[in-house]
């Protein structure tokens, strides 16, 4: 089995070294960069399965780097920042990040989040040959979702989603007609309870709708039930 490689981009050498120590002890191969440009160059050359990015860096910020990665890559991205404000969290997730950890952080907590995101990613992007399983494919309202190969199509047009976006869509589509509150979506997709779940889910739903070109459709797939949550009708 190939070694899992993680890119750590942080201009604070001590933090990058600390993260490396814990990740290496968990069996991962670590590539480090002190700025975004160096990190992007590593991504082009190496087979990277995850990126951990500091938000505040000289030159290109972690947020800008995250946007650039998302243009071509759906690997899990965890943002790090000394600012634990809701604005930073929304900005970070709005650029395509999958998770957010505020500094100073417990390395064991970061390690747990890394494992969670990688587990989700590898489940949805298996390297081995894929066998179609009808039970893992959902088709409704012009939307087809295959859980085995992480493929989503809308009226035969493929839509590229991150693992988090895929999980949200799959949750709604596998329970047609059922309304999920933002808290329920957060708990089921992220497997944890956090006080800012509402904003986090809303940002991901908005990004998901953008990729699905919902604003161009009269018959929208994801329905907002105001004051309650979200659903996909049968």
Report d(CA 42, CA 37) in Å as an integer. Answer: 9
Alpha-carbon span 62 to 58, nearest angstrom: 9
Is 50 within 8 Å of 75 (Cβ atoms)? yes
Report yes or no: 63 and 92 within 8 Å, Cβ to Cβ. yes
For 25, the token pair is 């002890």
Question: For the segment 66-82, what is each residue's pLDDT rounded down to a tens digit?
Answer: 989 988 888 899 998 87
Q: Are 23 and 78 in contact (CB under 8 A)?
A: no
| Mean pLDDT, residues 188-204 | 76
Indicate the pTM of the whole model.
Answer: 0.64
Condensed to tens digits (0 to 9), the pLDDT of residues 173-190 reads 988 889 999 888 988 888
Tokens standing for residue 6: 């993680």
What's phi and psi for 137, nearest 5 deg? Answer: -120, 130
Q: Is the pLDDT of residue 228 over 70?
A: yes
Task: Quote the percentage of the chain above a pLDDT of 90.
Answer: 30
């Amino acid at each position: 089995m190939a070694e899992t490689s993680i890119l750590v981009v942080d201009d604070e050498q001590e933090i990058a070294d600390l993260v490396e120590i814990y990740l290496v002890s968990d069996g991962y191969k670590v590539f480090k960069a002190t700025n975004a440009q160096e990190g992007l160059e590593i991504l082009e050359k190496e087979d990277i399965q995850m990126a951990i990015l500091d938000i505040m860096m000289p030159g290109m910020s972690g947020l800008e780097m995250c946007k650039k990665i998302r243009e071509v890559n759906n690997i899990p991205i965890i943002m790090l920042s000394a600012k634990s404000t809701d604005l930073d969290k929304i900005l970070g997730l709005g650029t395509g990040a999958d998770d957010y950890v505020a500094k100073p952080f417990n390395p064991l907590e970061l390690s747990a989040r890394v494992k969670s995101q990688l587990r989700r990613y590898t489940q949805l992007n298996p390297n081995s040959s894929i066998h179609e399983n009808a039970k893992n494919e959902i088709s409704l309202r012009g939307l087809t979702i295959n859980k085995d190969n992480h493929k989503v199509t809308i009226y035969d047009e493929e839509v590229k989603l991150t693992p988090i976006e895929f999980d949200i869509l799959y949750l709604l589509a596998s329970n047609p007609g059922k309304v999920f509150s933002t808290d329920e979506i957060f708990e089921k997709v992220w497997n944890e309870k956090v006080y800012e779940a509402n904003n986090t889910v809303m940002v991901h739903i908005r990004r998901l709708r953008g990729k699905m070109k919902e604003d161009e459709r009269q018959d929208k797939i994801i329905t907002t039930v105001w004051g309650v949550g979200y659903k996909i009708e049968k």
